[in-house]
Structure 1
Amino acid sequence: MNRAEKAELIQSLAAVFADTSFVLVGQNNGLTVAAVSDLRRRMRTAGATYKVAKNRLATRAMDGTKFQGIAPLMRGPTALAWSTDPVAVAKTAVDFAKINEKFVILGGALGAQTLNPDGVKALAELPSLETLRAQLLGLIQTPATRIAGVLQAPGSQLARVFSAFAKKDAAEGGAEAA
């Protein structure tokens, strides 16, 4: 890799670090090509990116960003994974680590907050962004339907009361005429 290619890689990683909210660091020591391809496919399916980068270049790209706290993790054969949905990356990595013991999660960073492997596993247990959106929408819709029911109930009760009075008046009027 010549200097221009290295500078281009540093710039592209710096752009990634500026745009994303979560970066995971994993150690891929001894993974076969098939296993790495499987991990990349899983990450892509989850909307994430998985990249093996030279540690020194990745560390340079992290300098001055909110992710510089994970620079000490960049030792040995490491790889980075990132996405706009932090839970998707964490879930994919944790699930892959369960079936392949050669992939080890070293940690990650959620914004400026550095996470150890247990923090990444805790993040993986959270519901996905799509699930959270659906739950939030359900919470928003529930009060609206309750409000509609509450507003509708007094009207229907008043209608029943007026109907009862009308029937009573009709019955009394019919009895007085007889």
Structure 2
Amino acid sequence: MARPDKAAAVAEIKETLENSHAAVLTEYRGLTVAQLKELRVKLGETATYAVVKNTLTEIAAKEAGIDAFEGQLSGPTAIAFVQGEPVEAAKVLRDFAKANSQLVIKGGYLDGAALTAEEITKLADLESREVLLAKAAGAMKGSLSKAAALFAAPASQAVRTVEALRVKQEEAA
């Protein structure tokens, strides 16, 4: 490959890394082209999965200020560049790795912080953003209902007391 081609490849990888929320580094040794295509389809719009050259990726990562890949770029390497929800992409990769033992998750980064393979698995175990937001909304709604009942209780208790006194006076009369 000519030097300008390498420089262009490094620039492209650097730009993709900078425009991604997260990246997951994998080893794909033993996977067929059909399996790689299946993985790309499953990732959908949340991530793009690309086979990369280790040396060029190392240079691009350093230029992008990412040191999460140090020591992990060896063997056949592919990266899932996550533009969408990192949890969803991590789930797809984890599930695909369970079904296809040839896919090995090496590590990655999320918002500039390095992630180990175990941390990516923990990320995949999280519920989706929508589910977490729904749970938070439900908890807030429950708290607001309790607060409203608490604020209304003294007034309703006063009304019941006044009514009981009125009934008692009518009975006495």
**Is contact 1:26–1:105 with CA below 8 Å preserved after alignment?**
yes
Output the TM-score relative to the length of structure 1: 0.83
Q: CA deviation at 1:38?
A: 0.9
Match of 1:51 in 2: 50
Match of 1:102 in 2: 102
Distance 1:36-1:169 versus aligned 2 partners, 3 A rule? same
Gaps of 5+ in 2: none
* CA deviation vs aligned residue, 1:5-62 (integer Å, no higher than 9, x gap): 54444333323322333211001112111111110011116x2221222222222221
- Superposed CA RMSD: 2.2
The SS at the match of 1:29 is: coil
Structure 1 or 2: more helix by fraction = 1
The SS at the match of 1:72 is: coil
Output the TM-score relative to the length of structure 2: 0.85
Distance 1:91-1:66 versus aligned 2 partners, 3 A rule? farther
**Map 1:5-154 → 2, pairs under 5 A:** 6-44=6-44, 47-83=46-82, 84-154=84-154
**Is contact 1:62–1:68 with CA below 8 Å preserved after alignment?**
yes
Gaps of 5+ in 1: none
The SS at the match of 2:29 is: coil
Please give the alpha-carbon distance, in whole angstroms, between the structure 1 residues aligned to 2:20 and 2:169: 72
Distance 1:2-1:144 versus aligned 2 partners, 3 A rule? farther
Give the AA of the match of 2:90: A
